[in-house]
Amino acid sequence: MILTRLAFRSLIARRITVGLTILSIALSVALFMGVEKVRTGAKGSFADTISDTDLIVGARSGSVQLLLYSVFRIGNATNNITWQSYQEIAERPEVDWMVPISLGDSHHQFRVMGTTEAYFDRYHFRGGRSLSFAQGGRMDDLFDAVIGADVARELGYELGDPIVVAHGIASFTEHDDLPFRVAGILDRTGTPVDRTVIVGLDAITAIHVDWQGGARAPGQTTPAEELRQMDLTPDAVTAAMVGVKNRIQIFQLQRWINEYPSEPLLAVLPGVALQELWGIVGIAETALIGVSGMVVATALIGMAAMIFSGLNERRREMAILRANGARPLTIMGLLTLEAAMMALAGALLGAVMLYLGLWLAQPWIDAAFGLYLTIDAPSAREGMVLVTVVLAGAATGLLPALRAYRLSLADGMTPRT
């Protein structure tokens, strides 16, 4: 006990260098655990983006691509699903519900998504949560739009404000003759819905009535009132979310869709597609963890260097211990204990810094990146990281401890400095 107390007091006596060393370990640990948090948070955030949807259906491409453009609004579809195919799938006995998604237009930097009212009932995120309205409600009129929380915040929109949809992505051509009206603003979800303008599927058809081959037909302008009376059944949709009546039918339906003879379609399970996505980004993840691991290793080596550089000044201290009966191995153990104590202090401080940082930055990260980082109690994996840092610190401390062992053997009771 007295040795532990002495090791602690010795550290306190050298508090500036020890403090800086602990700080460098703490920062490296916070970085390492932070990377881990962001990595698992990003995964969780992605995985939480969609739940309770059994299949996503789109034109045949890659499953990751389908997931990205239909759920995350990243990239574009290579093709559409014809409305006929959509209806055939919807009429399958396995299908409980099906929600169409029509993408392709935009408003400023945000995607415009055409869908049906069922989207608000069927789209679930973060383990089954439903969309809710901060203001207003669903679309009542053909030209009503519901906007995500980020759209409202970044563009400063309020209920009743007009929205002019641009044709395509990053296009200068606008559907300015048929503006929409903000009918509802959604609560924040932490999903791509926050950055989406949702309109009716028929509205997407309506704004393209006067368009042919991607351009407005010259001199042709159908009034809104007339459009409201028209049959606005779409020719095609971009993708669809599907729920089955019985989950054991998922694979049967998936196979049927993937072998659909009339057009090449692809049905993916969101979870499986996400796993594929993790496989793709896994290399970058590993590299990131590797770099942050190196930062931890550098901090521990820095600690060993600090102990090394202080050894000469501490030869008298070691000689005192020797004179009072300490064995060279005891002195070696004392220095190893000291290193372990510094590593422990650094690891704990790093964890505190991380959680404090998370607590402070969580709202900002959520707002800026749509990345919701949960603040849970440290996981077993994080506990393992902390224990590993302490053990690695003690192991690193063995190097200067070995030197101290040799010095104490050579010096005896009289340090030769």
Partner 1 sequence: MAEALALTDVAFRWPGRAGFGLSVPGWRVAAGARLLLLGESGSGKSTLLSLICGINRPDRGRVEVDGTDLGALGSTRRDRVRAERIGVVFQQFNLLPYASPTDNICLPLRFAPERRQRAEAAGRGGARAEARRLMTALKLPEEAIDAPRAGLLSVGQQQRIAVARALIGAPPLLIADEPTSALDAGSQDAFLDLLFTQCEAAGTTLIMVSHDDRLAPRFDDAIRLEDIATIQRTGFAA
Among 248, 242, 235, smallest CA distance to 205 is for 235
Return d(Cα 173, Cα 163) in angstroms, integer. 14
Residue with smaller CB distance to partner 1, 1 or 283: 1
Q: Minimum Å distance from CB 409 to partner 1? A: 9
Q: Minimum Å distance from CB 25 to partner 1? A: 22
Question: Which part of the chain contacts partner 1 (CB under 8 A), choosing from 121-129, 198-206, 311-319, 373-381?
Answer: 311-319
414 binds partner 1 per the rule CB under 8 A: yes
Residue with smaller CB distance to partner 1, 131 or 319: 319
Handedness of CA 98, 277, 370, 25 (dihedral sign): positive
Return d(Cα 71, Cα 52) in angstroms, integer. 13
Q: Minimum Å distance from CB 356 to partner 1? A: 30
Question: Which part of the chain contacts partner 1 (CB under 8 A), choosing from 28-36, 122-130, 295-303, 321-329?
Answer: 321-329
Interface residue with partner 1, options 156, 160, 223, 325 (CB under 8 A): 325
Give, as ranges, the residues between 101 and 130 that touch partner 1 (CB under 8 A): none
Q: Helices (DSSP H) in 140-258: which residue ranges?
A: 149-155, 201-207, 224-229, 250-258
312 binds partner 1 per the rule CB under 8 A: no
Residue with smaller CB distance to partner 1, 2 or 280: 2
13 binds partner 1 per the rule CB under 8 A: yes
Task: Say how many CA atoms lie within 13 Å of 415 toward its Cβ.
Answer: 16
10 binds partner 1 per the rule CB under 8 A: yes
Q: Minimum Å distance from CB 381 to partner 1? A: 38
Under 8 Å between Cβ of 360 and 39: no
| Triad 327, 328, 331: Cα angle to 5° | 95
282 binds partner 1 per the rule CB under 8 A: no
Q: Minimum Å distance from CB 353 to partner 1? A: 27
Q: Minimum Å distance from CB 329 to partner 1? A: 8
248 binds partner 1 per the rule CB under 8 A: no
Among 139, 133, 97, smallest CA distance to 117 is for 139
What are the distances in angstroms from CA 154 to CA 159, 162, 192?
A: 14, 15, 14
Interface residue with partner 1, options 101, 195, 322, 405 (CB under 8 A): 322
Return d(Cα 183, Cα 254) in angstroms, integer. 36
Task: Work out the angle between the directed axes of helices 15-48 and 328-369 (0-180°, nearest 10).
Answer: 40
The token pair that represents 383 in the structure block: 């506990």
The alpha carbon of 102 is separated from its chain's Cα centroid by a whole number of angstroms, namely: 25
- Tracing tokens 């404000």 back to the chain, one arrives at 161
Interface residue with partner 1, options 105, 202, 317, 338 (CB under 8 A): 317
Q: Minimum Å distance from CB 298 to partner 1? A: 29
Q: Residue 139: phi, psi to the nearest 5? A: -75, 125
Return d(Cα 296, Cα 306) in angstroms, integer. 15
Q: Helices (DSSP H) in 312-379: which residue ranges?
A: 315-323, 328-369
16 binds partner 1 per the rule CB under 8 A: no
The token pair that represents 368 in the structure block: 């800026």
170 binds partner 1 per the rule CB under 8 A: no
Give, as ranges, the residues between 342 and 381 that touch partner 1 (CB under 8 A): none
The token pair that represents 45 in the structure block: 């955030």
Report the chain's terminal Cα–Cα distance, integer Å: 30
Residue with smaller CB distance to partner 1, 219 or 325: 325
Interface residue with partner 1, options 320, 368, 375, 387 (CB under 8 A): 320
Give the binding-site size for partner 1 (rule: CB under 8 A).
24
Interface residue with partner 1, options 20, 272, 323, 361 (CB under 8 A): 323
412 binds partner 1 per the rule CB under 8 A: yes
333 binds partner 1 per the rule CB under 8 A: no
12 binds partner 1 per the rule CB under 8 A: yes
Q: Minimum Å distance from CB 324 to partner 1? A: 4
Question: Which part of the chain contacts partner 1 (CB under 8 A), choosing from 46-54, 69-77, 324-332, 360-368?
Answer: 324-332
| Triad 74, 152, 75: Cα angle to 5° | 10
Return d(Cα 140, Cα 156) in angstroms, integer. 22
Query: Which residues are near partner 1 by CB under 8 A?
Result: 2-3, 5-6, 9-10, 12-13, 316-317, 319-328, 330, 412-414
